């Protein structure tokens, strides 16, 4: 089997075509939702609950304000169902009586003058009977002394293979740990917002910053009680999302639509400022993991036993799905005969947590990978050695019980990472540095992991995605799909895939604007599925188009742009220039979602990440001096976009490991709701990030491509924690590893 290595160092970078969305964004021509021209628009705002759950008793409108000047919407104005359409109808669009967290929307207001709106906002007071004992902690929720929902459990999963008790009997060395991870904010550059416009025919046009146009459409259908034909959702240029614009745009869209229905045909802009966005939109689930690992003296894993719990917040939203991915990824890329992963998503009075790059996997992978280093330490074995003994190989049984096929590169990525970082040599150098009494300590740490691309198990089958290609009379081809460019480079990648499949230059292929009145539902832009699944469908549709051109327009087997255009013109004139490809799962996809048994994903991407850190012994600040990300991703369709995805994800991962900490006030609302005190790393905080790509060519996507986008969020935190532990000879059980925490650990440790 061939394995191509692309080493994306700056001096030998492999480049690709220019981004199709690049110029408009650089020149400022791209229109984000707040830039969209809207004649005579009203501005919307939201009145929210103050307490962490309770009962709304009364809404008091200040009689001194002339409310007839304003558009005012409450729960009574909802024509359809008062629930945000997601897995369960538990979250109200607007609070009618009971509520579960601070910051729930109760009243919507709109006015042409933002200043009047600001004053009016103060003229509405909510009389609340507050929940006397809100729950904010995962273990408090599990004890269920107060119940938000029965047992406070949204989902309870068990992945079990073998018998942990038997594994315990075989283990010579056992470790038992508890890890905590915090919430994390996506911090897309563009805060969320929607522009709603009631059309003369009574339909609604919704434009906004979003990832999943059909989720928004479905939410509007339910909330407004309107049929799909009267609703049109259009994605405006989206300034980052990272999962944060997967479910919440449905909430803002419902709010904006309700205002628009009463605005007499004037468009309504509902744009969140940064503080509001930080306080109310969903973030990464906090987690608490109890983990026990056992190995024999040779270092072979005998059992993995985990109790993995995530804070789902006050409504179910996507938490069961996040939990499922967290559970499946928990045992890592290791072979182990006895595995028990108990996963629970619990209800608390925090605002609901949601999708964020990695989707549950970064939390459980952190616990597993830091525990692996702890086990290595207890075994007196190098962490690399321990991993080499246990990483999956072709023919092994995976933690979900299927036989690992040829598309397994767990060892290859580790070997490449060791070679590229000169791991052993560095480790010795750092040990020498640390012994020499410098004012800093240095360490090198690693994490090995895999990430499944696409929806879990039968999810892709249920999605039944469709992609169309429209040939135009001039020989150009338009891609019609619901997948969104949000900064990650998907537009370029998809155009590139279509152009390559059709043998056309890239400028003859266009990605149509994501508009539900035109594009079919090709599923949401989530779960590292766009390139692999949707790209695959584009390739398939291209094949269909070529076949039709050959069969009905006599396009020759080899053709030039001119003959292709002529054939397209004919097809176009005949009104038969649209082809649609439908998704069919790979034949060997067998998955039991009750028992977590079978093949969970069409493809896994494999990775080994190495972090090199330096800790200042006076201030205990940690600096990542060098970071190496090695991953096998099947095929890099556009190596620079892939590199950008990985560098950006690693930067977010460094933030997760060292800086980012959502702090909560006593009502469960984000307290550090400003960019001056929610700390993400700047370029000055990042060392070099080396990206090394391996291409095995066996993924389920075009030319063997697999998903890339989430992988870089999984590995940095455990690699960095392991490096710091090595540098300081301490045990870390929580991220972010802030200097304040290191002070406690080093002082109490008698450093």
Partner 1 sequence: MSEWTRPRHLPEALELLAAAPGQYRVISGGTDLMVESHLAPERHPEFWLDISGLRELQGLQITEEGIRIGAATSLEVIRRHAEVVTHWPMLAASAAVTGAPPIQNRATLGGNVCNASPAADNAPVLLAYGARLEIAHHHGSRWLPYMDFHQGYRKTALQAGELLSALWIPYPPKHSRGYFRKVGTRAAQAIAKVSIAALIEEDSGGMIQGARFGMASVAATPCTLPSVSQYLLGRALRDIADAQVRQRVGQDIAPIQDIRSTTAYRLEIASRLVLEAIHGRSESKKED
Give the residues lining the site for partner 1 (CB under 8 A): 118, 275, 438-440, 614, 616-621, 623, 625, 659, 663, 671-672, 674, 676-677, 679, 681-685, 739-740, 743-744, 747
CB of 677 to partner 1, least distance (A): 5
Nearer to partner 1, 398 or 622 (CB): 622
Q: How many CB atoms lie within 10 A of CB 203?
A: 15
In angstroms, the CA 557 to CA 559 distance is 6
Please report where in the chains the tokens 């990464």 appear, as a residue: 284
- 185, 94, 55, 104: which is closest to 671 by C-alpha? 185
CB of 437 to partner 1, least distance (A): 12
In angstroms, the CA 150 to CA 133 distance is 16
Nearer to partner 1, 27 or 683 (CB): 683
CB of 625 to partner 1, least distance (A): 7
**Helix, strand, or coil (residue 664):** strand
CB of 621 to partner 1, least distance (A): 7
Nearer to partner 1, 202 or 439 (CB): 439
DSSP string, 572-613: HHTT--EEEEE----TT--EETTTTEE---SEEEEEEEEEEE
Nearer to partner 1, 189 or 587 (CB): 189
Helix (H) / strand (E) element for 470: namely: strand 466-471
In angstroms, the CA 358 to CA 652 distance is 11
For residues 726 and 444, the answer to whether their CB atoms sit within 8 Å is yes
CB of 267 to partner 1, least distance (A): 25
CB of 442 to partner 1, least distance (A): 10
Nearer to partner 1, 9 or 438 (CB): 438
Nearer to partner 1, 207 or 614 (CB): 614
CB of 116 to partner 1, least distance (A): 13
SS3 content of the chain, % helix, strand, coil (to 5): 35, 25, 40
Nearer to partner 1, 461 or 671 (CB): 671
From the centroid of its chain, how far is CA 155? 19
In angstroms, the CA 524 to CA 538 distance is 15
CB of 170 to partner 1, least distance (A): 44
For residues 689 and 750, the answer to whether their CB atoms sit within 8 Å is no
Q: How many CB atoms lie within 10 A of CB 396?
A: 17
CB of 671 to partner 1, least distance (A): 7
**Helix, strand, or coil (residue 323):** helix
**Helix, strand, or coil (residue 4):** strand
Nearer to partner 1, 310 or 742 (CB): 742
In angstroms, the CA 553 to CA 573 distance is 11
- 330, 319, 290, 320: which is closest to 307 by C-alpha? 290
CB of 136 to partner 1, least distance (A): 17
Nearer to partner 1, 435 or 684 (CB): 684
CB of 549 to partner 1, least distance (A): 54
CB of 722 to partner 1, least distance (A): 21
Nearer to partner 1, 119 or 556 (CB): 119
CB of 736 to partner 1, least distance (A): 11
Residue 258's DSSP bridge partners are none
Which tokens hold the place of 66? 């002339």
In angstroms, the CA 593 to CA 324 distance is 9
For residues 51 and 102, the answer to whether their CB atoms sit within 8 Å is yes
In angstroms, the CA 406 to CA 697 distance is 11
From the centroid of its chain, how far is CA 537? 22
The packing angle between helices 535-553 and 490-502, to 10°, is 30
Nearer to partner 1, 455 or 678 (CB): 678
In angstroms, the CA 302 to CA 172 distance is 9
Nearer to partner 1, 97 or 122 (CB): 122
Nearer to partner 1, 7 or 672 (CB): 672
Helices (H), 357-489: 361-379, 383-390, 410-421, 423-435, 459-463
The burial of 458, by beta-carbon neighbours within 10 Å (0-12 exposed, 13-18 middle, 19 or more buried), is given as middle
CB of 285 to partner 1, least distance (A): 22
Which tokens hold the place of 162? 């073998």
Q: How many CB atoms lie within 10 A of CB 57?
A: 11
Nearer to partner 1, 81 or 671 (CB): 671
**Helix, strand, or coil (residue 176):** strand
The packing angle between helices 361-379 and 716-728, to 10°, is 30
In angstroms, the CA 441 to CA 227 distance is 63
Nearer to partner 1, 274 or 297 (CB): 274
Nearer to partner 1, 66 or 676 (CB): 676
> What order of strands is seen across the sheet that includes strand 287-295?
153-161, 338-347, 301-313, 287-295, 173-181
Nearer to partner 1, 393 or 743 (CB): 743
CB of 273 to partner 1, least distance (A): 9
CB of 567 to partner 1, least distance (A): 54
The burial of 469, by beta-carbon neighbours within 10 Å (0-12 exposed, 13-18 middle, 19 or more buried), is given as buried
CB of 236 to partner 1, least distance (A): 24
């Amino acid at each position: 089997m061939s394995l191509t290595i692309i080493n994306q160092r700056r001096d030998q970078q492999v480049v690709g075509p220019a981004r199709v969305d690049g110029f408009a964004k650089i020149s400022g021509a791209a229109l984000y939702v707040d830039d969209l021209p809207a004649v005579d628009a009203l501005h919307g705002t939201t009145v929210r609950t103050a307490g962490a759950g309770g009962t709304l008793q009364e809404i008091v409108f200040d009689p001194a304000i002339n409310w007839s000047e304003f558009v005012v919407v409450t729960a009574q104005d909802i024509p359809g169902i008062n629930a945000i359409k997601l897995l369960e109808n538990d979250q109200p669009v607007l609070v009618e009586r009971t509520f579960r967290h601070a910051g729930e929307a109760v009243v919507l207001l709109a006015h042409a003058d933002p200043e009047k709106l600001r004053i009016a906002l103060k003229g509405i007071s909510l009389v609340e009977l507050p929940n006397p004992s809100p729950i904010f902690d995962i273990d408090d929720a599990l004890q269920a002394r107060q119940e938000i929902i029965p047992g406070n459990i949204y989902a309870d999963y068990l992945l079990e293979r073998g018998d942990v008790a038997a594994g315990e009997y075989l283990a010579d060395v056992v470790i038992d740990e508890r890890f905590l991870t915090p919430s994390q904010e996506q911090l897309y550059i563009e805060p969320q917002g929607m522009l709603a416009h009631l059309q003369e025919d009574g339909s609604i046009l919704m434009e906004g910053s979003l990832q999943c146009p059909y989720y928004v459409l479905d939410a509007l259908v339910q909330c407004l009680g309107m049929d799909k034909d009267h609703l049109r959702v259009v994605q405006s240029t989206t300034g980052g999302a990272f999962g944060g614009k997967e479910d919440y745009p449905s909430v803002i869209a419902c709010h904006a639509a309700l205002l628009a229905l009463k605005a007499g045909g004037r468009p309504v802009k509902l744009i969140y400022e940064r503080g509001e966005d930080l306080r109310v939109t969903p973030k990464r689930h906090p987690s608490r993991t109890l983990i026990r690992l056992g190995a024999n003296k040779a270092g072979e894993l005998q059992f993995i036993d985990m109790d993995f719990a995530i804070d789902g917040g006050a409504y179910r939203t996507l938490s069961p799905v996040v939990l499922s991915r967290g559970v499946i990824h928990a045992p890592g890329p290791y072979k182990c005969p006895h595995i028990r992963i108990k996963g629970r998503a619990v209800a608390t009075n925090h605002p609901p947590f949601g999708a964020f790059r990695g989707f549950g996997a970064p939390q459980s992978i952190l616990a597993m990978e830091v525990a692996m280093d702890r086990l290595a330490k207890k075994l007196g074995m190098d962490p690399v050695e321990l991993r080499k003994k246990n990483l999956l190989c072709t023919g092994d049984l995976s933690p979900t019980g299927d036989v690992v096929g040829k598309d397994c590169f767990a060892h290859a990525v580790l070997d490449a990472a060791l070679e590229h970082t000169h791991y052993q040599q560095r480790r010795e150098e750092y040990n020498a540095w640390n012994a020499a009494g410098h004012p800093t300590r240095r360490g090198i740490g690693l994490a090995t992991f895999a990430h499944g691309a696409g929806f879990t198990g039968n999810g892709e089958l249920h999605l039944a995605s469709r992609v169309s290609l429209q040939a135009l009379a001039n020989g150009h081809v338009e891609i019609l799909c619901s997948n969104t460019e949000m900064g990650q480079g998907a537009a370029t990648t998809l155009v590139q895939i279509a152009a390559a499949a059709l043998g056309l230059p890239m400028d003859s292929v266009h990605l149509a604007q994501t508009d539900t009145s035109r594009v079919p539902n090709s599923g949401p832009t989530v779960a590292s599925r766009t390139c692999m699944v949707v790209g695959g469908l584009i390739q398939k549709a291209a094949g269909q188009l070529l076949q039709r051109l050959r069969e009905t327009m006599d396009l020759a087997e080899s053709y030039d742009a001119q003959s292709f255009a002529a054939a397209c013109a004919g097809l176009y004139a005949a009104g038969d220039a649209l082809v649609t490809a439908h998704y069919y799962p790979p034949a060997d996809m067998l998955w039991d979602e009750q028992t977590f048994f079978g093949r969970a994903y069409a493809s896994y991407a494999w990775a080994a990440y190495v972090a090199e850190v330096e800790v200042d012994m006076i201030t205990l600040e940690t600096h990542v001096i060098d970071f190496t990300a090695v991953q096998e991703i099947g095929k890099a369709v556009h190596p620079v976009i892939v590199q950008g995805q990985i560098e950006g994800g690693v930067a977010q991962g460094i933030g997760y490991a060292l800086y980012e900490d959502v702090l909560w006030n006593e009502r469960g609302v984000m307290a550090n709701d400003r960019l001056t005190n929610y700390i993400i790393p700047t370029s000055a905080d990042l060392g070099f990030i080396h990206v090394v790509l391996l291409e095995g060519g066996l993924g389920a996507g075009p030319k063997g491509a697999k998903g890339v986008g989430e992988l870089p969020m999984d590995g940095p935190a455990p690699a960095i924690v392991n490096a710091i532990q090595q540098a300081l000879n301490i045990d870390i059980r929580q991220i972010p590893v802030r200097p304040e925490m290191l002070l406690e650990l080093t002082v109490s440790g008698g450093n």
